[in-house]
DNA sequence: GTCAAGATTAGT
DNA sequence: CTAATCTTGACG
């Protein structure tokens, strides 16, 4: 058995490249209508702000991405394609728009509610994708800028550090320059069935 | 005001 | 491979 992460402000006051793989195994908890929904993080991606052509913050601060420039440990939630919401954890320091996108969860609690919210009959791939997990947990822009260390509505909790191998690959669906497209900044638990399905899953293994 | 594009997903 | 669906940001 390994140690739990310390999810204090200092934890998020570092580079997303260090934080992202360490968020694997941590819990994302949502309290919705008095019900506790929770999942274990199994897939994430790091975004490096102004230095990253794939980041929403590449061209500076706007009304939409403002939360990314704010305090670490808070959420950045955006709507994509007019349909899906996606959740990021903002990383420090304040002023640098760095963040980690939560891409997939292994459902742990409130699974029936998640299934209903997703309008899905089976329980597979319930939270396997950034848009899916937000739908399952009822996450939308109302939670943009929310403190994810506050222990209310939506928060992160330490989990057991996974013994599974951590794989990396380029990020899914990004545009930008070659560096952004090729950067191996997606991190996921090797072989975990709740990781989103993509050809990139066959890529490099490390960590 | 107008317009193109988007860190996705489900279905053909 | 493509449609769905609508907010945002850039530009005039």
Give the pair of three-digit tokens for residue A112.
């029936």
Domain boundaries, chain A: 9-206
Percent of chain A residues topping a pLDDT of 70? 96
Structure confidence at residue A164 (pLDDT) = 85
**Average pLDDT for chain A:** 95
Nucleotides of C under 7 A from a protein CB: 4-10
Q: What whole-number distance in Å separates Cα of residue A69 and Cα of residue A55? A: 12
A174 nearest nt, CA–C1': B7
The whole model's pTM is what?
A: 0.96
* Mean pLDDT for the stretch of residues A80-105: 97
Percent of chain A residues topping a pLDDT of 90? 91
Structure confidence at residue A163 (pLDDT) = 87
Whether the CB of A63 is less than 7 Å away from nucleic strand C comes out as: yes
Q: Please determine, for residue A207, whether its predicted confidence score (pLDDT) is greater than 50.
A: no
A82 nearest nt, CA–C1': C6
As assigned by CATH, the class of the A9-206 domain is alpha beta
Whether the CB of A121 is less than 7 Å away from nucleic strand C comes out as: no
The C1' atom of C9 and the CA atom of A82 lie apart, in whole Å, by 15
CA angle centred on A40, ends A101 and A179, rounded to 5° = 25
Q: Please determine, for residue A50, whether its predicted confidence score (pLDDT) is greater than 50.
A: yes
Q: Please determine, for residue A1, whether its predicted confidence score (pLDDT) is greater than 70.
A: no
Structure confidence at residue A71 (pLDDT) = 98
Q: A44, A105 in Cβ contact below 8 A?
A: no
* Mean pLDDT for the stretch of residues A35-53: 98
Sign of CA dihedral A116, A188, A92, A174: negative
Judging by beta carbons within 10 Å of its beta carbon (0-12, 13-18, 19+), is residue A152 exposed, middle or buried?
exposed
Closest residue to C5 (CA to C1') is A82
* Mean pLDDT for the stretch of residues A38-66: 98
Q: A203 pLDDT band (50/70/90 cuts)? A: low
Q: Please determine, for residue A177, whether its predicted confidence score (pLDDT) is greater than 60.
A: yes
The C1' atom of C4 and the CA atom of A4 lie apart, in whole Å, by 42
Cα distances (Å, whole numbers) of residue A136 to A105, A129, A132, A133, A182: 10, 10, 6, 5, 30
The C1' atom of C2 and the CA atom of A149 lie apart, in whole Å, by 40
Judging by beta carbons within 10 Å of its beta carbon (0-12, 13-18, 19+), is residue A116 exposed, middle or buried?
exposed
């Amino acid at each position: 058995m390994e140690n739990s992460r310390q999810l204090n402000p200092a934890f998020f006051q570092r580079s997303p490249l260090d934080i992202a793989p360490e968020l694997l195994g941590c819990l994302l908890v949502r309290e919705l209508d008095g019900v506790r929904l929770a999942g274990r993080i199994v897939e994430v991606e790091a975004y490096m702000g102004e230095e990253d052509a794939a980041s929403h913050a590449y061209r500076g601060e706007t009304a939409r991405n403002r939360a990314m420039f704010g305090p670490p440990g808070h959420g950045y939630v955006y709507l994509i394609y007019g349909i899906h919401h996606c959740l990021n954890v903002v990383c420090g320091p304040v002023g640098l728009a760095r963040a980690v996108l939560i891409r997939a969860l292994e459902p742990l609690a409130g699974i029936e509610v998640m299934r209903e919210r997703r309008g899905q009959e089976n329980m597979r791939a319930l939270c396997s994708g950034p848009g899916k997990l937000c739908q399952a947990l009822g996450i939308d822009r109302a939670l943009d800028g929310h403190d994810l260390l506050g222990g209310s509505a939506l928060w992160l909790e330490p989990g057991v550090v996974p013994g599974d191998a951590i794989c990396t690959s380029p990020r899914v669906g990004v545009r930008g320059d070659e560096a952004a497209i090729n950067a191996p900044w997606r991190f996921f638990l090797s072989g975990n069935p709740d990781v989103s399905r993509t050809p990139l899953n066959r890529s490099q293994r490390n960590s």
